[in-house]
Chain A
Amino acid sequence: MITVRAFAQVREVTGEDTFTLSLSTPTATVSEIKELLSQRSALWREVLESGVLCAVEQAVSDDNTLVSDGTEVAFFPPVTGG
Chain B
Amino acid sequence: MFVDVCQHTLDINGYQNRLHEHSTNAGAIVTFCGLVRDFNHAGCIDGIHLEHYPGMTEKALNQLLCAANTRFDLLNAGIVHRVGDIANHEVIVWVGTSAYHRQAAFDGASYMMDMLKQSVPLWKKEYQGGRGVWVHKKHTDELAAMKWLQEASGTKESR
Contact = CB atoms under 8 A, between A and B. Distances in A.
Given A7-B123, A81-B123, A74 B56 contact: yes
Nearest to B56: A58
Nearest to A8: B123
B49 to A, nearest CB: 10
A55 B82 CA distance: 22
A15 interface: no
Q: B-side binding surface: helix, strand, loop or mixed?
A: mixed
B120 A81 contact: yes
Give the size category of B's interface with A: 20 to 34
Interface in B47-75: 50-53, 55-56, 59
Contacts, number: 65
A82 B134 contact: no
B93 A7 contact: no
A62 B119 CA distance: 15
B116 interface: yes
A76 B116 contact: no
A76 B53 CA distance: 10
B122 interface: yes
B117 A80 contact: yes
Nearest to B134: A9
B53 A77 contact: no
Contacts of B56: 55, 58-59, 74
Interface of B: 34, 50-53, 55-56, 59, 81, 92-93, 113, 116-125, 134-137, 141
Interface of A: 5, 7-9, 55, 58-59, 74, 76-82
